Amino acid sequence: MTREELQKRILTILEEEFEFESPGLDDNLRDDHGFDSIDAIELLAKIEKMLGISLSRQEKEQAMTIRTINDILDYIERMQAGRKTSNDSAPRP
């Protein structure tokens, strides 16, 4: 999935599920939209479902640094790249 596709899907989730109005990519989620830790947990669950994966504990802990929508997109891209690298280096049967 391209960054543009991810962005569109994340914005849709934030607008429909969390009632964000015209979110900017660099808006502070907490300060500008009242996003709290419970919202963050719900968003991670939606990201898991959207990507069809289960996040590891470490991946969930890495999400604690997210402050903006761009941070969410960067996080997903890093996570996907890390999983691709892990899968590429896994032994082949």
The answer to whether residues 76 and 7 touch, using CB atoms and an 8 Å cutoff, is: no
Work out the mean pLDDT of the chain and round it to a whole number: 89
Task: Dump pLDDT digits (tens) for 3-38.
Answer: 999 999 999 999 999 999 999 999 999 999 999 999
Q: Name the residue ranges covered by the structural domains of the chain.
A: 3-76
Is it true that domain 3-76 has CATH number 1.10.1200.10?
A: yes
The model's pTM is: 0.84
Alpha-carbon torsion, ordered 55, 56, 57, 58, to 10 deg: -110
